[in-house]
Amino acid sequence: MTRREAREAGETREAGEERKAGRGSGTLRSAVPRLALTVPPAVFLALFFAYPVAAITARGLYEGGRWHPERFAEVLTDPGILGVLWFTLWQAAASTALTLLLALPGAYVLARYDFPGRRLLRAAVTVPFVLPTVVVGSAFLGLLGRGGLLAQWGVPPVTGPAAILLAHVFFNYAVVVRIVGGLWAQLDPRQEEAARVLGAGRLAAWRTVTLPALAPAAAAAALMVFLFTFTSFGVVQILGGPRYATLEVEIYRQTAQLLDLPTAAVLTLVQFAAVAVLLAVHARTVRRHRGTSGLVDAAGTARRPRGPRQWTLLAAVVAQVAVLLLTPLAVLVERSLSGPDGYGLAHYRALASADASGGTFTVAPLEAVGNSLSYAAVATAIALAVGVPAAVALTLRGPGGSAGHLVRGLDALLMLPLGTSAVTVGFGFLIALDEPPLDLRSSWILVPLAQALVGVPFVVRGLLPVLRAVDHRLREAAAVLGASPARVWREVDLPLVRRSLLVAAGFAFAVSLGEFGATVFIARADAPTLPVAVARLLGRAGPENYGQAMALSTILMVVCAAVLLVLEGIRTERHGEL
91 has a pLDDT exceeding 90? yes
Sequence-distant (6+) residues with CB within 8 A of 147 are: none
Q: What is the dihedral of CA 446, 447, 453, 456, to 10 degrees?
A: -120
Give, in order, the Cα–Cα distances in Å from 238 to each of 135, 143, 294, 472.
Answer: 10, 13, 45, 49
**Domains of the chain by residue range:** 78-314
pLDDT at 401: 47
Among 168-172, 380-384, 483-487, the range scoring the smallest mean pLDDT is 483-487
CB 280 within 8 A of CB 412: yes
Give tens-digit pLDDT for 513-553: 888 878 888 888 788 888 888 888 877 777 888 888 888 88
380 CB contacts (<8 Å, ≥6 apart)?
452, 455, 505, 508, 509, 512
Q: Which residue has the higher pLDDT, 204 or 400?
A: 204
Mean pLDDT, residues 69-91 taken together: 91
Q: Give the angle 300-506-512 at the CA atoms, nearest 5°.
A: 135
d(CA 441, CA 430): 6
Question: Which fold is adopted by the domain 78-314?
Answer: MetI-like fold (1.10.3720)
Residues 6+ apart with CB under 8 A from 123: 561, 564, 565, 568
Angle in degrees, 0-180, between the axes of helices 118-130 and 307-321, rounded to the nearest 10: 30
49 neighbors 425 (Cβ within 8 angstroms): yes
* Spatial distance between the Cα atoms of 475 and 140, rounded to a whole number of angstroms: 50
Q: What percent of the chain has pLDDT over 90?
A: 12
3-state DSSP assignment of residue 399: coil
Instruction: Give phi and psi for 535, each to the nearest 5.
Output: -65, -40
Residue 90: per-residue pLDDT: 93
Model confidence band, residue 20 (pLDDT cutoffs 50, 70, 90): very low
Task: Return left, alpha or beta for 65; rule: phi > 0 is left, psi -120 to 50 is alpha, else beta.
Answer: left
Please state, as a whole number, how many other Cβ atoms lie within 10 Å of the Cβ of residue 452. Answer: 28
At position 393, the amino acid (one-letter code) is: A
Is the pLDDT score of 88 beyond 90?
Answer: yes
Q: Which of 432, 531, 518, 533 lies closest to 251 in space, CA to CA?
A: 518
Q: Band the pLDDT of 304: cuts 50, 70, 90.
A: confident
Does the pLDDT of residue 437 top 60, yes or no? yes
- As a whole number of angstroms, the distance between CA 427 and CA 314 comes to 47
Region 290-301: mean pLDDT is 59
